[in-house]
Amino acid sequence: MADCCNNTTGFDGQSPAYRRTLWIVIGINAIMFAVEMVTGALSGSQALQADALDFAGDTATYALSLWVIGKPLLWRSRAATFKGLSLLVMGATVLIMTLQASMRPEPPVALWMGSVAVLALVANVVSALLLMRFRDGDANVRSVWLCSRNDAIGNLGVLVAAVLVAWLDSPWPDLIFALIMASLFTHSAVSILRQARQEASQPTDSTH
């Protein structure tokens, strides 16, 4: 499919430009997962660890998105369904981690939170801008855009939470934002699953 058609609803990812973009975004997410998981654990920030899980999930699901490009619509809708279910699992995981952390009153290290949040924000804004022109594709393609958009929103929230942690000397801004991220995962999962269900009901003898 020509690049000029990438904004058409139903675009299935079959263009060299999209494949190149997806490889770049996969690399960005893999690096940021490692950075945020380490710094989140060292700083005691649940928001950073939640965001790290998001990076990990995105890395895996973007690779899945790349694999199903060009396959029949049913395959692509199933891949999107898997990604939607993965987001639901991440939302539940973040919720459990946050509830456990709420039993410990120590605030996270705000400077680490803020510094890594800025780095992650830059990474996700770059990813979201690269993917923006592909955001209206099929469920498989659109799920990649939604995940990148959510990451950028999430990093802004982590940055705000870091400022509030430093100002209030309290862990609650970090915990509250982790809960917000859990709800964002759930909302996006429902959107992806709904579109995937609609596409799965279409005739299976066509790849578009």
All structural domains of the chain with their residue ranges:
13-200
- Confidence label for 1 from pLDDT (cuts 50, 70 and 90): very low
Q: How far apart are CA 160 and CA 104, in angstroms?
A: 21
Instruction: Say if residue 188 is exposed, middle or buried (CB neighbours under 10 Å; 0-12, 13-18, 19+).
Output: buried
| Beta carbons of 51 and 158 less than 8 angstroms apart | yes
Q: Supply the Cα-derived Rg of the chain in whole angstroms.
A: 18
The average pLDDT across 146-163 equals 80
Instruction: Say if residue 110 is exposed, middle or buried (CB neighbours under 10 Å; 0-12, 13-18, 19+).
Output: buried
In this structure, of 147-156, 170-179, 198-207, the range with the lowest mean pLDDT score is 198-207
pLDDT in tens, 8-62: 445 656 678 888 888 999 999 999 999 988 988 888 888 888 888 878 878 887 8
Share of the chain above pLDDT 70, in %: 84
In this structure, of 17-26, 30-39, 102-111, 133-142, the range with the lowest mean pLDDT score is 133-142
Q: Is 6 helix (H, G, I), strand (E, B) or coil?
A: coil
Most confident of 8-12, 28-32, 159-163, 186-190: 28-32
Q: Is 14 helix (H, G, I), strand (E, B) or coil?
A: coil
The average pLDDT across 124-139 equals 78
In this structure, of 35-44, 104-113, 168-177, the range with the lowest mean pLDDT score is 104-113
pLDDT at 105: 66
Q: How far apart are CA 184 and CA 103, in angstroms?
A: 23
* Record: fold of 13-200: Alpha-lytic protease prodomain-like (1.20.1510)
